[in-house]
Amino acid sequence: MDNFTDSGSWSGSNISCEGITNHWLYFIFSGYLLPLISPKVRRFVNEKINSLRNNEITGKVVTLTEFGFDKIQGIQKNGEMKNFIRRICIEKNYEYNEEMIDHIAWLFSGDNDETHDSLMQTWTRLNVMLKEPGTIKRP
């Protein structure tokens, strides 16, 4: 505490903000390391780690993010999309029933059968439908 002066600066040090922002470490941190800390990059890294840990892609395993949604949609299995949607509803405390999950899963899974066409929609649209179940249009 002896080195601290009344003016709020360290005595004997010549550090200024300009000196810090012109330093090469500042450029490395702000240009390369700071983006790694962003939420989207963290979700992507979590999804990669999760997929390496679990070799099988299922609706019970993938992260509840856009990256997990893309993986489930990519395998085009309606059952896995149901599991994924059910987990989202539980995580975010949305009201749901199995009939609603079944209907939404067919809209987003990309899977098809004799009675359902293959549909693939976006992550944003899924979130809107789950938040506001009244927006679901039944055929």
For 36-70, the pLDDT digits (tens) are 677 777 777 777 777 667 667 788 888 888 888 99
> Are 78 and 99 in a shared domain?
yes
> Are 117 and 84 in a shared domain?
yes
> Are 68 and 119 in a shared domain?
yes
> Are 40 and 84 in a shared domain?
no
> Are 18 and 61 in a shared domain?
no
> Are 31 and 64 in a shared domain?
no
Q: Does residue 6 sit within a domain?
A: no
> Are 65 and 109 in a shared domain?
yes
Alpha-carbon distance 24 to 37, whole Å?
19
Q: Does residue 3 sit within a domain?
A: no
Return all residues near 57 (Cβ < 8 A) that are at least 6 apart: 51, 71, 72, 74, 75, 80
Q: Does residue 123 sit within a domain?
A: yes
Residue 120 CA: distances (Å) to CA of 24, 47, 70, 73, 103: 46, 21, 10, 7, 13
> Are 105 and 39 in a shared domain?
no
Count: domains in the chain: 2
Between the two ends of the chain, the Cα-to-Cα distance in Å is: 73
For 71-129, the pLDDT digits (tens) are 898 888 889 999 999 999 999 888 888 999 998 998 888 888 888 877 778 889 998 88
Range of the domain at 118: 56-135
